[in-house]
Amino acid sequence: MTCHNHSTTMGTVLSHDYVTSLYVNNGVAVADGLRLYGNEKKCKQKRVEFKTRVQLACELIKNHVARAKQTIDIWDSWFMCKEMVEASRKRGHNWIGEIKGNRIAFYDGKKYHLHELVDRLRSEGGLCDAIVNGKLFQAGKADVFLPKIGYVSIVVNVKADTKDLHLLCTDLVGSGVERIIGHALNRHRIEDFYKEAKALGLGEYRFRESEAALIHAHLVSLACTLLDVLRRRLLRYLIVKCMMSFEETVEWIRRKAMHLFLHKVKTAKQPFRNILMMIDTI
């Protein structure tokens, strides 16, 4: 199922392509689902059912096990479509998605492209200062009608220091801009997860059968989860003074493992040759 995929750092590369979801609850973030994507031509060759990335993402929403009273699905602009919204509605979830400025919306009885609506809000003073997670944004909100999706809120947020403009689309029509932006910022946690997963070897393997690639990706995700649990427990039990990074947690494990190994060698009653064979195996 390897296909030619675009990489922002390496250009077009032959690789596996995954659709993933991350579950975030306060400070905890764990991998919640993982699906392997293959293009239609590859699926026909392998005689497996072809599913688009959106269909795979909808499956992740369908299979999510709710762990809180309110679940909010958050996705980027690539997945902002009717199918994703319907999948969330069927599960009783709220949702927030980034949306592109060329989408059509009806506001105040008139038809706009969203970038035109942003210009109107700016000209009418509809953007105000909003502090979210200690950061300053210029933000505004408008309730609109989107074809195929229905009545939603469009939230405009511009980060004060970078001037980066983002448009959010959500069914949280009764919520303020600070709350909506605060939820939407959680989507950036997935970049942190990928960074940590890559440090543990995600993607660093020779091409294998797709089933083996899936197993590898799931094992790396599991390792990320266990490391996160460990570093939080080390802090909770006052074994360390502050939250460690993933790299520091791995190094802590290595030191402890080496100490236990040396203790085992020291107290071993086996022949010296057997001990050397054990070292060579490790």
Task: Specify the pairing of strand 128-132 against strand 110-113.
Answer: unpaired
Q: Quickly tell me which residue has 């709350």 as its tokens.
A: 179
Instruction: Show Cβ contacts of residue 93 under 8 Å, excluding neighbours closer than 6 positions.
Output: 61, 71, 72, 73
Q: Quickly tell me which residue has 């590898």 as its tokens.
A: 216
Q: What pLDDT was estimated at residue 169? A: 96
Instruction: Show Cβ contacts of residue 19 under 8 Å, excluding neighbours closer than 6 positions.
Output: 34, 35, 37, 53, 56, 57, 60
Structure-token pair, residue 59: 């499956």
pTM value is 0.78
For residue 21, which phi and psi values (nearest 5 degrees)? -130, 150
For residue 39, which phi and psi values (nearest 5 degrees)? -70, 170
Contact 58, 75 (CB under 8 A): no
Averaged over successive runs of 10 residues, the pLDDT of the chain (282 residues) comes to 75 84 87 87 86 95 90 94 96 95 93 94 89 89 94 90 88 94 89 83 67 82 88 90 88 84 73 69 51
Contact 50, 38 (CB under 8 A): yes
Q: What pLDDT was estimated at residue 206? A: 60
Written as one string, the DSSP assignment of 10-27 is: TEEEEE-EEEEEEEEETT
Residues of the chain with CATH 3.90.350.10: 71-186
Structure-token pair, residue 48: 């497996």
Structure-token pair, residue 193: 């997860």
Q: What pLDDT was estimated at residue 247? A: 85
The CB-side HSE value for 114 (13 A sphere, CA atoms) comes to 25
Alpha carbon 2 to its chain centroid, in Å, reads 22
Give the class (CATH, top level) of 71-186: alpha beta
